[in-house]
Amino acid sequence: MSDSSSADSPITLHLAYLLAQANREINRQLDARLRAEGVPVEQWRILKLLSDGNGRSMGELAENALLNHPTLTKTIDRMVADSLVYRISDPADRRKVLIYCSDRGKALARKLAPLALDQEAHIVNSYGDKATAQLKRLLETLIERAG
Amino acid sequence: MSDSSSADSPITLHLAYLLAQANREINRQLDARLRAEGVPVEQWRILKLLSDGNGRSMGELAENALLNHPTLTKTIDRMVADSLVYRISDPADRRKVLIYCSDRGKALARKLAPLALDQEAHIVNSYGDKATAQLKRLLETLIERAG
DNA sequence: TGTGAACTATTGAAAATTCAACTTTCCAGC
DNA sequence: GCTGGAAAGTTGAATTTTCAATAGTTCACA
């Protein structure tokens, strides 16, 4: 009988590798569009998260923007310097700092949103409506399980 | 009628975001296991790629290890310092540099492979055999289309 | 055969990220 | 009310990554 337990599959078939590869490619495309407007993807994510719901703590933002705390602190520093967002100490818990989008930040988010949607539309276009929906569903449940 | 074209979906539903999130989570888990052995994921990928086929050029490796050239050069520098791999100028094209795994590197790759497989096994276990296979298939074709 | 364009890899400076330590604030239990 | 431990954010040093420029090879073609 064949011994599949010792047949070590190439890394190109590992789930972790496939995810890294797909992520790299898709985010590279998105980054190219956004950088043409002078905005790195991390900042786009933050702007979009805030326009989905303004006024979030650093911890919440770090979690959702997929950044760890010190990185987020420094990214927010840059965005504050660019007047895209501002900090306000949370009156309900003064350990926390809440981040808000400025008008300038909101305007930028509105300008960038179509770029991101258009990129996704292009993918859906060449990849298929159903396949994309299915992929999203699978990713959502994977994240849910893994988290 | 409802105007779905202007309904801007939250970023948590964007494909690029879902991929980034899933990738972060799965790779975080893998990284935790590998770092316990003192090896960052990038180095694991390189070791595994070389054990799948020894003697690759920097360009080929960069492509497959999902690293850009200068980053790979410096990563290989570290691995050479640790005697995991070595460089040989390609006799057929002296612009190229071929990377080979040392015996030490091969031994490390053999030691690490079960960790990576075991992690995947855990995912398959909680996530389901079919769902995993389906996800992999979708990712493969997405990468193919996007590339 | 020799010249210039394209390709491969590396380098050094600049920028971003990470790690560990630190400050401030909150809260549970005494 | 105090006190000590936990939580939230920030900081500075060290590491890593990135960008732009460089050096060495190869190849097409005049």
CB contact under 8 A, A142 and B127: yes
pLDDT tens digits, one per residue of B108-124: 999 999 999 999 999 99
Position B7 scores a pLDDT of 58
Label residue B38 by pLDDT band (50, 70, 90).
very high
pLDDT at B145: 87
Q: How far apart are CA B16 and CA A26, in angstroms?
A: 6
Q: Which residue is nearest to nucleotide C8 (CA to C1')?
A: B95
A69 touching B, CB under 8 A? no
pLDDT computed for residue B147 by the predictor: 64
pLDDT of A15 reads 97
CATH 1.10.10.10 assigned to B11-146? yes
Strand C-contacting residues in B 5-64, CB cut-off 7 angstroms: 57-60, 62
Residue A8 is predicted with a pLDDT of 77
Q: What residues in chain A have per-residue pLDDT under 70?
A: 1-7, 147
- pLDDT at residue A21 in the model: 98
A18-51 residues labelled b (16+ CB within 10 A) or e (exposed): bbbbbbbbbbeebbebbeeeebebbbbbbbbbbb
Please check the confidence at residue B77 and state whether its pLDDT lies above 90. Answer: yes
ipTM field: 0.92
Please check whether residue B118 touches A, CB under 8 A.
no
- Per-domain residue ranges for chain A? 11-146
Cα dist from B87 to B7, B83, B93, B105, B136, whole Å: 54, 11, 14, 13, 33
Q: Is the pLDDT at B13 greater than 90, yes or no?
A: yes
pLDDT digits (tens, 9 = 90+) for B129-145: 999 999 999 999 999 98
Measured CA A73 to C1' C29 distance, in angstroms: 34
Q: Cβ–Cβ of B11/A140 closer than 8 Å?
A: no
| Residue B48 · residue B65 · CB < 8 Å | no
A138 and B140: CB-CB below 8 Å? Answer: no
